[in-house]
Amino acid sequence: MGTRKPEDIRAVVVVGHGGSGKTTLTEVALFDAGVTTRMGKIEDGNTVSDFSSEEQKRQISINASVATLPYKGKTLYLLDAPGYADFIGDMRSSMRVADAAVMVVSGVHGVEVQTEKAWEFSEDFNIPVVFFLSKMARENADFERSLGEIRQYMTERAMPLFLPIGKETTFKGVADLLSGKAYLYKGDGSKDMSEGPIPADMADAVAAARESLVECIVEADDELMMRYLDGEQISMEELVPALRKSVRERRLFPVIPGDSGANVGIYQFLDIVADVLPSPLEMAPRPALKGDEEVQVAPDPKGPFMALCFKVMVDPYVGKLSFLRVFSGTLTSDQPIYNVNKGEEERVSAFKLMCGKEGKDTKDIVVGDILAIPKLHSTVVGDTLAVKGCSLTFPPIQFPLPVYSVAVLPKSRADEDKLATSLHRMLEEDATLSYKKDPETNDNILSGMGDLHLDIMLSRIKERYGVELETRTPRVPYRETIKKKAKAQGKYKKQTGGRGQYGDAHIEFEPMERGTGFEFLDKVVGGVVPKSYIPAVEKGLREALPKGYLAGYPMVDIRASLVFGSYHDVDSSEMAFKIAASLAFKEAMKSASPVLLEPIMNVEVVVPEEYLGDVMGDMNSRRGRIMGIDSKGRLQVVKAQVPMGEMFRYAIVLRSMTSGRGNFTMAFSHYEEAPAEVTKKVVAEYQAQAEEEKD
């Protein structure tokens, strides 16, 4: 292990689109640094990063994992973040705690959707970025095209530090623009690298690229800029500190070509991480909250210990692991740790420096460290860990809201008993997952970032906790109302030999404005219904309304007036008048023109302009009303109102329709009358279910 002095730590997140080569880059970095003796392969299911059974089965990264490795006397923490949209929460939380990002861009496919999303996150967190152009030894790999896309879609200040030597299958090394040296590899996955002069046929290209690079670097230093403009040659020893400053301040974004599978350019990648990217001590202070007041927490080794929990993982052998990033101070394993958010002291069993699923114990932790602590009882993602007496908390990590939901049904009574516990544990581990019971439909709703996300969560619940769940589309919380006035008598009379039952209520029903609920009026005159029974009439109606009339959905926006009735001195009772009221309700509905109401959602879709027509056409097919279109840079924002029943699979459709470039948010707006065909379908389903229950 390299030194873990704060100035020698590099905390870097590796991000990019799924399949761009992030995990392979992490794997070969571990191999070249001597942490592993052989390179694992994703297709063989033996990489350090992708160690869960689901990742090995699906051959994709699902969780962010930490690779701790020594290099040039420093300690590098590489956070390998997932690249698929369904697992974007782990990408965002990892970027929140990193000091820099390496964005892996496929030299074959260029800039893809999740790379653009990662770039947005890097802007949110204001962290330096290095671009690694991967798969340069593959057929159809194109350095210039990929560099052009980075400059077009992300930043014009992306500058190569190296040029590729060779192209596609002849790619065998890189030319260093600053040192003027060429680094050549065998390209067979081995560590062997030789150093030599720049190939003669690349001299002009290297000279031109070097001039552009140096011009960009010296902008960070006024003195260097003046000397450069005066025609003076700037030495390598002066350029490197200026390069580090430019990268740290996001004025320059280095680009490195390489191929992880062939093990070409990886030493140069590691050199840039170790020599150019910032240490924790060079990062700006982090904002924290003291009540409503914002304060700054400096990355000071001598400051008070403060860390943020950015990930929770359940290990089948160790149990719960809480991953922390230390932003201030130091701590030893024999000191207690305090969860500021929960106001509870946590017992520390060990500090573990992780490399995939393996952990190495350490007795102390310092600012900059990324580590895991087993079996913290109350700590969840977003909690601040400190020493007792600390009142500061880091702002919570802002995760994207779930966009896809299913209703889950336990397969057996045993599964039902374990459902709540298993889901609670999953929610602790995954902040982009949500679970609630819909009080109107009684559905257990599980929500996440997509169908793949929920499919994996359900597999984990079955594997870990033995709970089997079936899924279906959630029910729409329809409501019912009336369109006409109607009056009916409800009379309940029962004689059984002794005291009978008698209640008689004449009730007028009328529609009210949408959203006003239910109103009951007592319009009885002359005492035809005694005052003591009138509350029973209202209660009978309030018990009947939730069951509706058409399809069993709650009846709303209705006024009921008790206008007449009769009673019996002996046989009348509160129960009799409750039943009479419900009979009057059912009778009146026959002539009150009952209708079904459906929930309407405010939907906001953000898409690149080229997909605008497809999105609008799809909205129209969903009975949506376009309320407006706004521009947001090169994106278009479509605002619409769409029935909830048309939106359950929209996340999947939008992702497919826009190649993953579209996203949307949705919030409830109001209820309005459903079309006749929708009402007919819902009523038919209700009646069929009622018949089935009878049988």
Give the pairing type, strands 594-608 and 625-632: unpaired
Percentage of the chain beyond pLDDT 70 is: 99
Q: Which amino acid is at 406?
A: V
What does DSSP say about strands 337-339 and 384-386: parallel, antiparallel, or unpaired?
antiparallel
Q: Which helix (H) or strand (E) holds 195?
A: strand 193-197
Q: Give the pLDDT mean for 209-226.
A: 90
1 pLDDT more than 80: no
* Average predicted confidence (pLDDT) for the chain: 92
Q: Tell me the pLDDT band of 55, cut-offs 50, 70 and 90.
A: confident
The whole-angstrom separation of Cα 477 and Cα 573 is: 35
Residue with tokens 């819902």: 682
Q: Are 14 and 79 in contact (CB under 8 A)?
A: yes
Looking at the predicted structure, is the pLDDT value of residue 71 above 90? yes
Residue 303 and residue 326: Cα distance in Å, rounded? 11
Report all structural domains of the chain as residue ranges with CATH numbers, in order of start: 6-282 (3.40.50.300), 286-386 (2.40.30.10), 404-472 (3.30.70.870), 479-592 (3.30.230.10), 596-677 (3.30.70.240)
d(CA 344, CA 332): 18
pLDDT at site 570: 87
Mean pLDDT within 235-250: 93
pLDDT for 695 = 62
Could you tell me the two tokens for 531?
């005052």
- pLDDT over 80 at 685, yes or no: yes
Q: Residue 602's pLDDT is what? A: 96
Give the separation between CA 22 and CA 423, rounded to whole angstroms.
30
CA 135 – CA 260 distance, rounded (Å): 7
Tell me the sheet residues that pair with 337.
346
Decide if 338 contacts 319 (C-beta within 8 A). Answer: no
Q: Which residue has the tokens 């609920």?
A: 517
Section 140-162 average pLDDT: 95
Q: CB-based contacts of 606: which residues, under 8 Å, 6+ apart?
A: 632, 635, 636, 637, 638, 662, 663, 664
> Higher model confidence: residue 36 or residue 496?
36
Task: State the pLDDT at residue 424.
Answer: 85
Q: Could you tell me the two tokens for 601?
A: 């959602």
* pLDDT band at 564; cut points 50, 70, 90: very high
pLDDT at 498 over 90: no
Q: What is the pLDDT of residue 42?
A: 82
**Within 104-233, where are the H helices?**
113-125, 143-153, 203-218, 222-229
Summarize pLDDT for 252-289 with one digit per residue, the tens.
Answer: 999 999 999 999 999 999 999 999 999 999 999 999 99
φ/ψ region of 73 (left if φ > 0, alpha if ψ in -120 to 50, else beta) reads: left
As a whole number of angstroms, the distance between CA 633 and CA 620 comes to: 25
In degrees, rounded to 5, the angle at the alpha carbon of residue 436 between the alpha carbons of residues 431 and 442 is 160
Identify whether the C-beta of residue 384 lies closer than 8 Å to the C-beta of residue 396.
no
Identify the top-confidence range among 125-134, 329-338, 372-381.
125-134
pLDDT tens digits, one per residue of 408-424: 998 888 888 888 888 88
pLDDT band at 2 (very low <50, low <70, confident <90, very high): very low
pLDDT higher than 70, residue 173 = yes
- Whole-model pTM: value is 0.85
Q: What mean pLDDT comes out for the span 206-214? A: 94
Radius of gyration of the chain (CA): 33
pLDDT in tens, 461-478: 998 888 899 999 999 999
Output the CA torsion 275→281→282→286 (10° steps). Answer: 140
